[in-house]
Every structure is written in structure tokens, then in C-alpha cells.
Amino acid sequence: GAGAAMADGEGLLSVDYEVSGKVQGVFFRKYTQGEAKRLGLVGWVQNTSHGTVQGQMQGPVARVRELQEWLRKVGSPQSRISRAEFTNEKKITALEHREFQILK
């Protein structure tokens, strides 16, 4: 099944992220969720009280790298990303989320 396929190759990665710049009120979370789902990643995204967007992504290594690149350079159409930081990168044996959610 699909589970077996995900265990092949490079395995699964979990990474926390925080994106700074003009990233609130420009549909950034919705676009991030859409991109994560397109890539088959799970995790979450939310606005912080200090004007950034943060979250966690989990999935196959290559896909996680793609979303990291997207968060660095693309974002939502109206956004202006000044910095994307990635922390707590670790290999995981199973996904810890069922989907990619926007948290309030």
C-alpha cells in the first residue's frame, strides 16, 4: 500500500519552520496548505502574535525540501518573504499528523 512506498528511499523528515516578512493577511497560510497538500506533506501552519507564520511539515525528504524552497522564495502571490528559518529537523519513522491543517 501507500504506507510501504513512503518507507522506501530516504525516509521521512519532520521540520519546524517560521517565515518572516509580509506574510499575514495575504492568504499565506492557505497557499502553504495548498502547496503542502500538493506535495503530499502533513503538518500545520499558523499566524503568530509577532507577525510571522510558523508551523511544522512532515513527509518524504525530497518533498520537505521542495516546500522549504517554496517557503523561502515563493509564498502566496501578495506576500513578501524576508526570511524563512527551519529548525528541529529530524528523521521520523511515522507521520505524526493526519493532514496539513491551518491552526487558528
Q: Which residues are catalytic?
A: 29, 47
Q: In what order do the strands lie in the sheet with 80-92?
A: 80-92, 12-22, 53-60, 42-47, 100-102
* Residue 30 cell numbers, joined: 492557505
- What is the rounded CA–CA span in Å between residue 35 and residue 8? 23
Q: In the chain, what's the furthest Cα-to-Cα distance?
A: 42
